[in-house]
Amino acid sequence: MQTAQKIAVVGSGLVGTLLAIYLKKLGHTVHVYDRSPDIRNVEFSGRSINLVMSKRGWKTLEDIGLDEEIRNIGIPVDKRGIHLQDGSYITQNYGKEGEAIFSLSRGILNRKMIDLAEKSGVKFFFNQKIWDVTLSSATLHVGETERGEWTEIKFDKVFGADGAFSRIRHRMQRQSMFDYSQEFMKIGYKELHIPANPDGTHKIDKNSLHIWPRGEFMLMGLSNLDGSFTCTLFMPFEGENSFEQLQDEKSLVAFFATYFPDTVAVIPDLVEDFFKNPTSYLVKMKCYPWTYKDKLALIGDAAHAIVPFYGQGMNAGFEDITILNDLIGQYGDDWQMIFTEYEKSRKPNADAIAELAERNFNEMSAKTADENFLLQKKIEKWFSDKYPEKWLPLYSRVTFSLQPYAEALAIGEYQNQIMQEVLKIENIAEIWDSQFVENKILDLIK
Amino acid sequence: MQTAQKIAVVGSGLVGTLLAIYLKKLGHTVHVYDRSPDIRNVEFSGRSINLVMSKRGWKTLEDIGLDEEIRNIGIPVDKRGIHLQDGSYITQNYGKEGEAIFSLSRGILNRKMIDLAEKSGVKFFFNQKIWDVTLSSATLHVGETERGEWTEIKFDKVFGADGAFSRIRHRMQRQSMFDYSQEFMKIGYKELHIPANPDGTHKIDKNSLHIWPRGEFMLMGLSNLDGSFTCTLFMPFEGENSFEQLQDEKSLVAFFATYFPDTVAVIPDLVEDFFKNPTSYLVKMKCYPWTYKDKLALIGDAAHAIVPFYGQGMNAGFEDITILNDLIGQYGDDWQMIFTEYEKSRKPNADAIAELAERNFNEMSAKTADENFLLQKKIEKWFSDKYPEKWLPLYSRVTFSLQPYAEALAIGEYQNQIMQEVLKIENIAEIWDSQFVENKILDLIK
């Protein structure tokens, strides 16, 4: 057991709230600060992308007994539903029979988790703007405005779970030897909406992650409990087929009619939503170190903000908690050791999922419409079903296993090289499930 | 001619001061702010590396008629003087007969340039701490402390020439779509010192850049006007042969006796200097964009901080001024166009010299002690002397030409591939200056 500490968690998002529950259960006094109002009392923003919970996220919830509560507010999604531009529709299973990711609305999940945290004894302080932190004494500086009066609140430990634009990290960044990078993507996104049928059912299959892959841009849809879908249009800010080209109703409607004809019937509020909802940015952020002595640690997006294309942002943040909790179990009151091992262990995996997530935009937006790629996936699945101990596809390693991301990335690259060889086989499209191909793969993976 | 503007230059370093002279000459009111005291009234810091001025820096000085003044306080350096560990000493010319870089003390140069700027009518405001800038109105916020009272000073334009840790950039960084990275090197540095002989002459050849290449670390020496040398020890912070290993007099003296035996006679104050002078960090910084509308531009290290191993940091900053001045000539009062073209034109070149500078640590610290590399340099020089229009070595492109850095980098890589082929020739060490090798190179560059 650890000696009880007074701990501040900055940020009441998903990772901050779940971390607070863990720390409370360990016997600490836990105060969560957030600069925004309580999300339970405000409208959702119109700029969110639905979340998907997969193995790593579930593991963190299971370990603290919250998985059932959360499973009730999610919808299992076991396949991609790919809407090709020629009007055809194909599906692609994500994993084996019974394996699924879960679609969750960010707002509903976040509200639920704050409820659970409060119930467990965590205290929340909303509308409290943290402008600075004194690293050496774990002291937060809170105030109305950046230039106004501040109050000091001293803790034993501070966790920065305050997202990609973390103020806590901001202070660390002004130290020597702090590596940092932020890069904004050329692709932005816009939230759109497929409403439920009058009887509350979903207009399209709720157990599929719907993609309309169009190369440089794509539309995506994930189901909600109320029968609706949260859709996300990912598209470059500038150039051909970009947000900058869609400035008026006419060009918008024409664009959707051309590229997403089957959505016209199911997105009735396209024009209203498109011009009401903001066009949002995507940022990649890396930094190191993540901790300051035994006083402070960054976690989740504050330590590693990635693009959303692998559905792993929240899962990676939750896995941070699992690792941290394991190290707490191992090292007890030696917080310096806990923090050092935490950042050393997590950093390479955070870098790996950042890389995988960025690559996956191309997979989703372009390759899912590519015959060779679909064939590759089919062969991998067929071979993996025959030899599950010899071949686990990369997506499954990332999504349905707890293998460290860095290992998954490395093995995925090795497997991909093998598949590129296999795809060179003459008539592979005809003979892909033959003994010959099976032997060839067995030979290559020796 | 441009309409006169009220312009603030933040930073009284080399780039800020020279930019101020240019802007003053164009008819603007120019105020230079610096958070530090006037460098003319303070001791040097004991943490500086001597500067080398090369073609690009001279060009910027020549265009405004200041080159002669500066040449008088520099010492031409036309070769590397390489001190091998076995006690042997070899030299390597930097360029053709008559080509040299100039060794300059940062303090002496900076003081001189502030004098010149004041003479031209630029006003300096020292000990003025800029904490923030309002981008949209080019307003500086100045005050004693970050949390204390601030005064607003409004300008028409602001230039951020405030170095790698620029406060001006700091504000831009908090905007969407601002890409930024900072990375600290694993290698630090320490200033050391070879004093003059009693008669004021130099103890070792003043026209050589002295290197003691030892693989992972190196010592470097550049001459000063007063007969002394400013030396710099570059070494990893941690590991074998690192700063962390040299904690006491005994280990320091033993280390120098082992690795730099010929310095023992010429660095009498080794122990005192080593423990008095700080161990300094090296940081690489990249960002984009560099400008905000027609209001603000970053320049020099504030826009692109690089490592010092190509001697191009100051030269690249001065070249920023040349390009900016060319664009001012071209676009007159259209500052928005000037700034946009400036950042578009300079960014790829800043990235290229960052890359070249980083690679050059390995060249200086390891390759200069490598026979193959010395042979390659010899072949390149021999061929280049014969066919100057066909082959200009990379170092010469960077140092003695005005070719954009990005082009130099690209051609350098192409040339290096050719040289790797040439080095594979049997007995190349014996026949390197033969007709056969000449024909081979002529063949490869076709």
Of B13, B106, B117, B4, nearest to B64 by C-alpha is B117
By CA distance, what is A145's nearest residue in B?
Answer: B147
Per-residue pLDDT tens for B202-253? 999 999 999 999 999 999 999 999 999 999 999 999 999 999 999 999 999 9
Q: Which of A102, A106, A78 is nearest to A92 (CA)?
A: A78
Judge contact between A433 and A425, C-beta under 8 A.
no
Q: What is the pLDDT of residues B286-301, one digit of tens each?
A: 999 999 999 999 999 9
Tokens 């010592």 identify what position? B219
Chosen from B166, B177, B351 to mutate, greatest number of chain A CBs within 10 A? B177
CATH of domain B6-44+53-72+106-182+283-360: 3.50.50.60
- Measured between CB atoms, which of B177, B183, B281 is closest to A184? B177
The residues near B194 (Cβ < 8 Å, ≥ 6 apart) are B203, B204, B221, B228, B229, B231, B263, B266, B267
Q: Is residue B35 classed as helix, strand or coil in its secondary structure? A: coil
Alpha carbon of A215: minimum distance to chain B alpha carbons (Å): 23
| pLDDT (tens digit per residue) in A342-382 | 999 999 999 999 999 999 999 999 898 899 999 999 999 99
Instruction: Per-residue pLDDT tens, chain A, 446 aa: give them.
Output: 899 999 999 999 999 999 999 999 999 999 999 999 999 999 876 778 899 999 999 999 999 999 999 999 999 999 999 999 999 999 999 999 999 999 999 999 999 999 999 999 999 999 999 999 999 999 999 999 999 999 999 999 999 999 999 999 999 998 889 999 999 999 999 999 999 999 999 999 999 999 999 999 999 999 999 999 999 999 999 999 999 999 999 999 999 999 999 999 999 999 999 999 999 999 999 999 999 999 999 999 999 999 999 999 999 999 999 999 999 999 999 999 999 999 999 999 999 999 999 999 999 998 988 999 999 999 999 999 999 999 999 999 999 999 999 999 999 999 999 999 999 999 999 999 999 999 999 999 98
Domain boundaries, chain A: 6-75+105-183+283-360, 187-276, 370-444
Of B215, B217, B263, the closest CA to residue B238 belongs to B217
Chain A residues inside the 8 Å CB shell of B150: 147
What ipTM does this complex have? 0.89
How many interchain CB pairs under 8 A, A with B? 32
Backbone angles phi, psi at B154, to 5 degrees: -95, 135
pLDDT at A47: 76
- Cα separation, A282 vs A234, in Å, equals 10
Phi, psi torsion values for A255, nearest 5 degrees:
-60, -50
Identity of the residue in B147, B177, B180 whose CB atom sits nearest the CB atom of A181: B180
Exposure of B235 by Cβ count < 10 A (0-12 exposed, 13-18 middle, 19+ buried)?
Answer: buried
Q: Which of B183, B282, B283, B286 to mutate to test the interface with A (most CBs of A within 10 A)?
A: B183
Distance between CA atoms of B326 and B334, rounded to whole angstroms?
13
CATH of segment(s) A6-75+105-183+283-360: 3.50.50.60
Does residue B359 carry a pLDDT above 80? yes
Torsion of CA B108, B111, B115, B120, to 10 degrees: 100
